[in-house]
Structure 1
Amino acid sequence: MTTDVWAEGDGYEAYVGRWSRAVAAEFVPWLGVPAGARWVDAGCGTGALTEAVLTLAAPASVLGVDPSGGFLATARSRLPAATFELGSAEALPVADGAADAVVGGLMLNFVPDATAAAAEFARVAARGAVVAAYVWDYADGMELMRHFWAAAADVDPGGAALDEGTRFPLCRPEPLTELWEDAGLADVTVRPIDVPTRFASFDDYWRPFLAGQGAAPGWLATLPPSRRDEIRDAVRARLPIAADGSIALTARAWAVRGRR
């Protein structure tokens, strides 16, 4: 049983949305989509990837689709140039072959059926269109979560089964390649995208975990305050905190790209 929570956009932004933006800034140019294209951002969340498309790709249009009304409210308030619709990545509200680029950021591992989602990406893509996505390297390179789960396992071993590194074997190069190829996509490539995640203080790092948005924060919210405090202290002891109180970590995402 999972405790993932996706409801309130501002809490998610503080947790990982801000780091997703840095990944999206490298991801969008890597796709090489010409200006004037029709984009679909499946599982758009609060709009980190949508914003990068609007800023960097000169699109004719961008449609963001997400099942969370709360996340879409945040996206709409920030990005009036895009269109947003409530919906699922496994059943996109888009006609066959209507998109020149179909993308998804940090969502493939959370949809109930990633195979169905990949097939939908391919369905709505025009011939020759780019189909791409990125996910966190939960098992290794997403340091802010790795420190949390390592400390949490020491304090409350019952939470280990919820660790995204264990739950999401999809988030590695080989499974991503297989998923894209099985969807009938050609010229499939996977690459890492590494971005710095610098926190001004331990409070800057820890406060987003208390907002209840996402997997680790959602689980933390189910614990009694005393247990949350134990985990907080265990995390603090593990982190590389500099003399000025700042914490310099890195986050790796795996990006997959193919063509219809």
Structure 2
Amino acid sequence: MIENMQPRWSNGNLYEPYAGRWSRLVAGEFLAWLSAPPGLDWLDVGCGTGALTEAIAERCAPNRLVGIDASEGFLDFARGRLEGTAAELLRADAQSLPFATAEFDRVVSGLVLNFVPDRERAAAEMARAARQNGQVALYVWDYTGGMELMCRFWDAATDLNPYARELQDNWHAAFCQPEPLYRLLEEVGLSHIEVRAIDVPTLFRDFDDYWTPFLGGQSPAPAYCMSLSEGERTALRERLRATLPTRPDGSIHLTARAWAARGSKR
């Protein structure tokens, strides 16, 4: 049924209304949790459209700030967002960072590690790039139920076609939980590891604000949506319209949960 579902993102203009606008909220909570002093050297691995990088620039007074991503489309979007800052943005692979050992005080990653083919290698690279007594920290969406906007989409899709259940984000959902995140940081030699949930509100002004981003075609849920016939897509849209918790003013109030983990380099 779906031969070309593409779980990777590459277009910042499509990503922002779908999940990017919520990632900015998580970034702020994440940095408040890290509570880093000013004047540090930061590396953002998988910076995407630049939400976390921008938050670091605004909140943390970094001495140096570097963001890397494998997608040139995302980097182009991030360059526009970070214009006027001193952030360096480079195209690079999270699994093979182009930096010396012990080059950064803080090595962070937001909403990307579950998309990396070899996440163990990427985590090891993040630890390698961190200085002694530095910190490695990351966060990922909770795809097992905490990312309500996606879970409700798949519930509605499955009501209409049980096959849709097989197409959920389960290929990376198992990783996006506290125990796997803790083990990952432990396996790359970090100490004083902590994991916590970050919950943020996801407010949609009306149904179209919720539905339209699913027409972008990137990532599993939008790809599934756009693989349907026009009639099937209309049925899914109306199923969602009937099942989403819509308030009298037409707004839809959901929540999104991310799991964050941090550890110190010995």
TM range (shorter): over 0.9
1:37 aligns to what?
Answer: 40
1:231 aligns to what?
Answer: 236
| Secondary structure, aligned partner of 1:193 | strand
The 3 A distance-change label for structure 1 pair 5 and 229 is farther
2:251 aligns to what?
Answer: 246
Does the alignment pair 1:182 with 2:162?
no
Q: Deviations over 1:139-170 (max 9, x none)?
A: 12111011001111122333322212464201
Could you tell me how far apart the structure 1 residues matched to 2:136 and 2:49 are? 20
Letter in structure 1 aligned against 2:233:
R
2:156 corresponds to which of 133, 151, 154: 151
Does the alignment pair 1:69 with 2:72?
yes
Q: Structure 1 segments of 4 or more deviating over 3 A?
A: none
| Secondary structure, aligned partner of 1:73 | helix
Note the C-alpha offset of 1:94: 1.5
Contact 2:30–2:260 under 8 Å retained in 1: yes
- Computed over aligned residues only, the root mean square deviation of the Cα atoms, in angstroms, reads 1.3
Q: Deviations over 1:197-221 (max 9, x none)?
A: 0100000011111112333112322
Could you tell me how far apart the structure 1 residues matched to 2:99 and 2:253 are? 41
Note the C-alpha offset of 1:95: 1.2
| Secondary structure, aligned partner of 1:109 | helix
Could you tell me how far apart the structure 2 residues matched to 1:147 and 1:192 are? 20
Greater displacement, 73-82 / 206-215: 206-215
1:221 corresponds to which of 205, 223, 226: 226
Contact 2:109–2:137 under 8 Å retained in 1: yes
2:211 aligns to what?
Answer: 206
Could you tell me how far apart the structure 1 residues matched to 2:231 and 2:74 are? 30
Could you tell me how far apart the structure 1 residues matched to 2:161 and 2:65 are? 43
| Secondary structure, aligned partner of 2:99 | coil
Contact 1:5–1:212 under 8 Å retained in 2: no
Contact 1:3–1:219 under 8 Å retained in 2: no
2:63 aligns to what?
Answer: 60
Contact 2:43–2:108 under 8 Å retained in 1: yes
| Secondary structure, aligned partner of 1:251 | strand
1:24 aligns to what?
Answer: 27
| Secondary structure, aligned partner of 2:115 | coil
2:202 aligns to what?
Answer: 197
Normalised to the residue count of structure 2, the TM-score between the two structures is 0.94
Could you tell me how far apart the structure 2 residues matched to 1:187 and 1:194 are? 23
Letter in structure 2 aligned against 1:148:
F
Could you tell me how far apart the structure 1 residues matched to 2:126 and 2:38 are? 20
Does the alignment pair 1:168 with 2:173?
yes
| Structure 1: 5+ residue stretches without partners | none
| Secondary structure, aligned partner of 1:3 | coil
1:102 aligns to what?
Answer: 107
Could you tell me how far apart the structure 2 residues matched to 1:159 and 1:19 are? 25
Identity %: 51
Letter in structure 2 aligned against 1:37:
L
Contact 2:204–2:210 under 8 Å retained in 1: yes
Could you tell me how far apart the structure 2 residues matched to 1:121 and 1:233 are? 44
| Structure 2: 5+ residue stretches without partners | none
Does the alignment pair 1:51 with 2:54?
yes
The 3 A distance-change label for structure 1 pair 3 and 155 is farther
